[in-house]
Structure 1
Amino acid sequence: MRKLLGFILLTSMVTPATAQRLLSLDSCRAMALRNNKQMSISRVKQEIAANVRKSARTKYLPHVSALGGYVYTSKEISLLNDEQKDALNGLGTNFATGVQSSIGPYAQILPAALQQRLGADLQQVAGVLNQFGGGITDAFYTDTRNMFAGSIMLTQPVFMGGAIVAMNKMADAGEQLAANSAEAKRQATLYSIDQAYWQVVSLRHKQKLAQSYLDVVKKLDGDVQKMIREGVATRSEGLSVSVKVNEAEMTKLKVDDGLTLSKMLLCQLCGLPVDEQVTLADEESEDLSTVAPAAAPQHVDLSETRPELKMLQNMIDMGKQTTNILKAGHLPQVLLTGGYAVSNPNLYNGFQRKFAGVWNVGVLVRVPIWNWGDVAYKVRAAKGATAIATLQRDEAREKIELQVSQSQFKVNEANKKLEMARKSTERAEENLRTANLGFQEGVISTTTVMEAQTAWLQAQSQKIDAEIDVKLSQVNLQKALGTLQY
């Protein structure tokens, strides 16, 4: 017997548990923020905006670039024409010929030995001059059919008309816009998950209420059937109660289906499989609204709490910086330049077939003179867009202020409805208790009992709705104020 008992205990311990996952409101919020695709997109957009801002910062810094190239031409550059080349190559010959023609008539009176000596000297001088002229021709030979060139250049902006400053301010505003957009989506995600969560809680309480009502009606049906068999109740009364049983079963079926669909939506928002079996922490709570609703703080600055207003302000700031960038196109621009250039052939010591280079520094100045009013038109258009954004922000602020007032009113209204629903529930319970006692004593008809049961069901359902309305109205107020936090 002990062995059998031990085996049973061991089997019960190793049997896998099939308990449902228990979720609280905070855990649902955390999973929703972690798995929401729009939140992931917002995070990527923030990274993009941060990289754009970092890129804008680099515009203040010097930029270094390298350039290289090769060119082959079918002809070389020639600084001497063909006649000049021939004249230089025959410089000595032409000189000797000229001398001989000049002294020819006088050479006959010279001794033969002197004439021979003079001719030899002329030939020697002609050779030297020919060699000298050929050297000059070779010196002017460029050989530029194959040309190589390269350079490293550094540019440092000095004054760009304020365009770089405006670009950086715009990048900062863009990063803030991405952050505020992420905050808006975060609050929207929390708002959606809260609504889905309390919808499930509401339907779960209504499911228990529907089951309780079904049990009560079935008990009444059983009592009426006994009374019919005893002859103290009519068949018509039995059929009326049976109809109520069918209606209660249909109501419970609808609530069951609605609860299943609501849980599927909640699982989808939390990033869980839609067929995941979950149980919420507030499903078994008897009193859902135990905390009194707080009044809206009077010192809250909506421009600082509502991400939508922040986004509109960011757009205004970006519009102003766009105007400044356009204005910069009408102002002078100054850059410092420096670098090193190399070429082959080079010109720094005649035409040489080798690489040689030179350092350089300089200043570039660009001054716009006339553009037919193009910049002025663009500036006016940008100012118009900024004015539109300003009006949109003001309109949005007015609507949000109205939304806050309405949300605060709904919180107070929901609280009043809850108090009324609680009182109605107490009366309905007392009415049902009295009707049941009267029915048992035979002084109250089944119709009166069914009416009391229906009134009790409606009162309980209204109490559940009122409790959920209090929760949702508080969430609506927090979202309207921009203080919905996790």
Structure 2
Amino acid sequence: MIKRLVLALPLFLTVAVAASAQVTGTSRMEPGDVFLQDDGPVSRNAGAVWHFNADSCRLRAIAANAAVENADLNVEAAKEKKKAAVAKYFPSVTANVSAFMMHDYMLDVSSSDLSDGSLSMEVYTEGQDLESYINENLDQIAPFFEQFGIDIKQEVNDFVSGLSYNASLQMVKKGVSASVVAVQPLYSGGRIINGNKLARVGIEAAQVQRSMAVKEVGYGAEQRYWLLVSLNEKMKTLDAMSALVDTLYKDVEAAYEAGLVGMNDLLKVELKRNELLSSKTTLQNAIVLANMSLCQYVGLPLEDRIVPEDALDEMSALPGMPVIPDSADVSMRDEYRLLDLKVEAEKYKKRLILGESLPQLGIGAGYFYGNLWGRNMNNAGVFVTLSIPVSSWWDNTFNYRKQRIMERIAVNERRDYRDLLSLQVRQAWDEICSLNRQIGIYRQTIEQARENLKVNSDYYGSGMVPLSDLLEAQAIYQQSVGQYVDKCIDYKLKVLEYNQMID
């Protein structure tokens, strides 16, 4: 009985994998499963069940991930910034409208009453009030009239004493004014041209960053997907081993009760069964967390469950070895392109600082309207402006030197990272070669472990080896299968990472 069960283990694993593949493709609905419709799943219970492969997970993650959405928004923002830079080529138009009302008149000239030969006016002439001004002039001409016996001052005073008046002049207490001015820049030190070039670099940089985000998100989705595949495959192996050990325990227990084996053999099987139960509990928790992580990454509720369409039988269909890398050809990589754009951006920033120290020339036209005196006034004109930033030359000199240093730093970073990127490509290639060799080794290890299990089962059935050797052979086979699955997944992910590097 024990011999027959042990020999059936490889067949049991194969049947379990095949059964999993059939369940994946079936349309039968189970509790918690979903009806797949055009607009998505409709769950009967709280959590929906999704059947995904690696490509579908990657596409859903790219469509739902916030990093890709933010990268798209950054591209749109860079395009809007470019439009704002293009607008600098066109005239700038300024419209002003103002209205006011004063508490007092802006111009208020008045005289007080003139009586009793005294003159009092609030009008100033040559820095003197009007009365002093008249008296001073009368003193100058009085001698001339005295020759004829005329007192001119008395005559004037007598005349003024008979007069009484109040004269005033009041102007501008409220008004309205408006103007429209358009200025067309003719020369701005190259700031408009370089600003547009810098905005164009910003768009390219945002697009490169989006490409990097898409690759990173796609890689993260596949990484989580294959982790779930690996855990599910290990769970299948554990289930098969647990079923075998449970059956073995019943047989050993029956043999112990019949006095054919000792208590030691029964305890060994019990310890092995408890070990498998503990490993299964730990693995179940890991599967739940891996499933939740993948659901969150592809934009599904955490309560949903993802059933991978890949299994152990697909591990043999691994991607082939990629092309041998050219360590010198890294100019097409997104990382290097981003460094190239950084150097270009620093160059345009330097030109912008230089343009702040150069003259600015513009031509303009304006229309003016005003109503200050109680009547409308209109006027129009053209003008030319020339602005020379004399006081800015001093600080802009230091800013220009600083920006020139920043440009040199960007050039040095590009040169340094070029070598690092080449080294990264070569390192990834070496890891792929190593994993490919390890996969071949582990395939042989599985065959050897299967054969070892068969031999030990034969020997145990014949009473030639103890039970511990059989349990050890089972553990070796289980470990070999798990290591093979891990290496296959590592190889898939490394090939994906390498292809992203050289694309």
Q: Shorter-normalised TM-score: what interval?
A: 0.7 to 0.9
The one-letter amino acid paired with 2:33 is T
Deviation, structure 1 residue 14: 11
Whether 2:333 is the aligned partner of 1:333: answer no
- Match for residue 64 of structure 2? 35
- Match for residue 100 of structure 2? 71
Specify the SS of the correspondent of 1:233.
coil
Alignment of 1:50-449 (within 5 A): 50-73=79-102, 74-77=104-107, 82=123, 143-283=171-311, 285-298=313-326, 301-306=329-334, 308-345=335-372, 353-371=374-392, 373-449=394-470
Cα distance 1:273–1:285, how it changes in 2: closer, same or farther (>3 A)? farther
Give the TM-score of the pair, scaled to structure 2: 0.76
Deviation, structure 1 residue 18: 2.4
Give the TM-score of the pair, scaled to structure 1: 0.78
Deviation, structure 1 residue 445: 2.1
| Greater mean deviation of Cα atoms: 446-455 or 265-274 | 446-455
> For the residues of structure 1 that align with 2:377 and 2:199, how far apart are their CA atoms?
44
Specify the SS of the correspondent of 1:71.
strand
The one-letter amino acid paired with 1:305 is R
Contact kept? 2:318, 2:492, Cα under 8 Å: no
Deviation, structure 1 residue 79: 10
- Match for residue 74 of structure 2? 45
Offset from partner CA, 1:1-49 (integer Å, 9 cap, x none): xxxxxxxxxxxx9998725211121221122112212222222222221
Offset from partner CA, 1:421-467 (integer Å, 9 cap, x none): 00010011111112112222222321221221122112111111121
Question: Which residue, out of 21, 45, 52, partners 2:50?
Answer: 21
- Match for residue 473 of structure 1? 494
Offset from partner CA, 1:116-159 (integer Å, 9 cap, x none): xxxxxxxxxxxxxxxxxxxxx99xx7833323221111110000
The one-letter amino acid paired with 1:432 is L
Deviation, structure 1 residue 311: 2.4
Deviation, structure 1 residue 174: 1.5
Contact kept? 1:191, 1:479, Cα under 8 Å: no
> For the residues of structure 1 that align with 2:361 and 2:243, how far apart are their CA atoms?
89
Cα distance 1:14–1:421, how it changes in 2: closer, same or farther (>3 A)? closer
Deviation, structure 1 residue 234: 1.7
| Greater mean deviation of Cα atoms: 463-472 or 217-226 | 217-226
The one-letter amino acid paired with 1:30 is L
- Match for residue 481 of structure 2? 460
The one-letter amino acid paired with 1:262 is A
> For the residues of structure 2 that align with 1:142 and 1:212, how far apart are their CA atoms?
110
Contact kept? 1:32, 1:193, Cα under 8 Å: yes
Deviation, structure 1 residue 78: 7.6
> For the residues of structure 2 that align with 1:78 and 1:367, how far apart are their CA atoms?
42
Specify the SS of the correspondent of 1:304.
coil
Provide the alpha-carbon RMSD of the alignment.
2.8
The one-letter amino acid paired with 1:191 is Y
Cα distance 1:276–1:405, how it changes in 2: closer, same or farther (>3 A)? same
Cα distance 1:83–1:423, how it changes in 2: closer, same or farther (>3 A)? closer
Contact kept? 1:289, 1:467, Cα under 8 Å: no
Specify the SS of the correspondent of 2:390.
coil
> For the residues of structure 1 that align with 2:68 and 2:387, how far apart are their CA atoms?
46
Contact kept? 1:148, 1:344, Cα under 8 Å: yes
How many residues are paired up? 413
> For the residues of structure 1 that align with 2:279 and 2:64, how far apart are their CA atoms?
35
Cα distance 1:174–1:198, how it changes in 2: closer, same or farther (>3 A)? same
> For the residues of structure 1 that align with 2:96 and 2:170, how far apart are their CA atoms?
23
- Match for residue 5 of structure 1? none
> For the residues of structure 2 that align with 1:205 and 1:83, how far apart are their CA atoms?
108
The one-letter amino acid paired with 1:255 is L
> For the residues of structure 2 that align with 1:14 and 1:76, how far apart are their CA atoms?
91
The one-letter amino acid paired with 1:185 is A
The one-letter amino acid paired with 1:450 is L
Contact kept? 2:363, 2:385, Cα under 8 Å: yes
> For the residues of structure 2 that align with 1:83 and 1:474, how far apart are their CA atoms?
97
The one-letter amino acid paired with 1:355 is N
Cα distance 1:286–1:162, how it changes in 2: closer, same or farther (>3 A)? closer
| Greater mean deviation of Cα atoms: 14-23 or 465-474 | 14-23
Structure 2 unaligned regions, length at least 5? 1-27, 35-48, 111-121, 131-144, 149-166
Contact kept? 2:319, 2:492, Cα under 8 Å: no
Cα distance 1:83–1:28, how it changes in 2: closer, same or farther (>3 A)? closer
The one-letter amino acid paired with 1:171 is A
Deviation, structure 1 residue 297: 4.2
The one-letter amino acid paired with 2:457 is N
